[in-house]
């Protein structure tokens, strides 16, 4: 019997995904879900044919250069690939894949949760009830912003952005968007296209980010683009923390230029800026956009489909390098 490929799995994955790994591969699992630093990762990769990492493991050029010779494919358990130097991997001859599409619904759901949570002051209300501070009611008590019928500005009308647009239509919201190019009318479905980000920001009551982490998008939300937003806008980010200059967003929240924000992603997560804990008008989540049982299974199966294709001599469907 031919030797089964050895796959290093860097984090604990759903039971069904690990069962398929053990059935089809010589799987090196991580049952304790311990974090691997660079040196531990490189040691664990000795003798492996493939690595199945998450976004929590970094593969910059210097790590790609030190990978054991036997590692031929990095099959990411993530849709984002900004943790992997794709050019370095391609130069080294290491195939890289990701898991697109299967996260769309779950991330769109979290986007709506962030939007509603920020607009309706969910964090403030939840803390008040838990602390026993809810003692009375009046017409002025915990008044928030209504979502229904407002204008939403979607920055990045890709896979997730399109699903968010559909969910927003369920709230009778007027959908506007900015992207590199306009969508065909049948996909646009009446959404209003803005060639410039500033044009979109000027009309949106809610701004929600759905663009990847690229050199062009890093720091896209900063003091200048915030100044272009309507006063009292509500800002949502379930994409990447690198898109935002956090000092500028914090200042805008404190001044109430931005009335409230809903954030699932941050700079330097999970070791985020301590100031976030003291800002009342922000609804915070710990990067759980894809955290449903259905989605995590689907991500694992998609990554395994890519491994299966590669080791069968076929082109992986989700190859990015």
Helix, strand, coil share of the chain (percent; to 5): 35, 15, 45
Give me the catalytic one of 109, 188, 198, 269. Answer: 269
Give me the catalytic one of 121, 240, 296, 302. Answer: 240
Per the annotation, the verdict on 275 as an active-site residue is no
CB of 200 within 8 A of CB of 178? yes
Residues 6+ apart with CB under 8 A from 308: 24
CA 283 – CA 260 distance, rounded (Å): 8
**Residue 176 has which token pair?**
């506007």
Per the annotation, the verdict on 269 as an active-site residue is yes
User: Residue 106, class by beta-carbon neighbours within 10 Å (0-12 exposed, 13-18 middle, 19+ buried)?
Assistant: buried
- Collapsing DSSP states into helix, strand and coil, what is residue 221? strand
Per the annotation, the verdict on 240 as an active-site residue is yes
**What residue ranges in the chain does DSSP mark as E strands?**
6-9, 26-28, 50-52, 73-75, 95-97, 151-155, 174-178, 192-194, 206-209, 233-237, 258-263, 282-284
Residues 6+ apart with CB under 8 A from 183: 157, 177, 191, 193
Give me the catalytic one of 121, 178, 287, 296. Answer: 287
User: What positions carry a catalytic annotation?
Assistant: 240, 269, 287
């Amino acid at each position: 019997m031919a030797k089964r490929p050895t796959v290093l799995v860097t984090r604990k994955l759903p039971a069904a995904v690990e069962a398929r790994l053990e059935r089809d591969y010589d799987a090196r699992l991580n049952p304790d879900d311990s974090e691997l630093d660079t040196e531990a990762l490189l040691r664990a990769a000795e003798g492996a044919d493939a690595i199945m990492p998450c976004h929590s493991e970094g593969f910059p050029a210097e790590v790609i250069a030190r990978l054991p010779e036997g590692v031929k494919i990095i099959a990411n358990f993530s849709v984002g690939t900004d943790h992997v130097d794709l050019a370095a991997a391609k130069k080294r001859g290491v195939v890289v894949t990701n898991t697109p599409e299967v996260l769309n619904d779950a991330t769109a759901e979290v986007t709506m949760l962030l939007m509603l949570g920020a607009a309706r002051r969910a964090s403030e209300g939840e803390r008040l009830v838990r602390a026993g501070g809810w003692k009375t009611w009046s017409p002025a008590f915990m008044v928030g912003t209504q979502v229904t019928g407002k204008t939403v500005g979607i920055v990045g009308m890709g896979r997730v952005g399109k699903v968010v647009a559909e969910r927003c239509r369920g709230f009778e919201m007027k959908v506007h968007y900015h992207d590199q190019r306009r969508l065909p009318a049948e996909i646009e479905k009446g959404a209003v296209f803005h060639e410039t980000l500033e044009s979109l920001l000027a009309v949106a009551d809610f701004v929600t980010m759905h663009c990847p982490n690229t050199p062009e998008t890093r720091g896209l939300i900063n003091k200048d683009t915030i100044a272009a937003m309507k006063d009292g806008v509500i800002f949502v980010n379930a994409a990447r923390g690198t898109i935002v200059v956090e000092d500028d967003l914090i200042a805008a929240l404190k001044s109430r230029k931005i009335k409230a924000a809903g954030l699932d992603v941050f700079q330097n997560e999970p070791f985020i800026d301590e100031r976030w804990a003291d800002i009342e008008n922000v609804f915070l989540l710990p990067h759980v956009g894809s955290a449903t049982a259905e989605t995590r299974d689907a991500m694992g199966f998609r990554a395994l489909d890519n491994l299966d294709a590669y080791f069968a001599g076929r082109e992986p469907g989700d190859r990015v390098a």
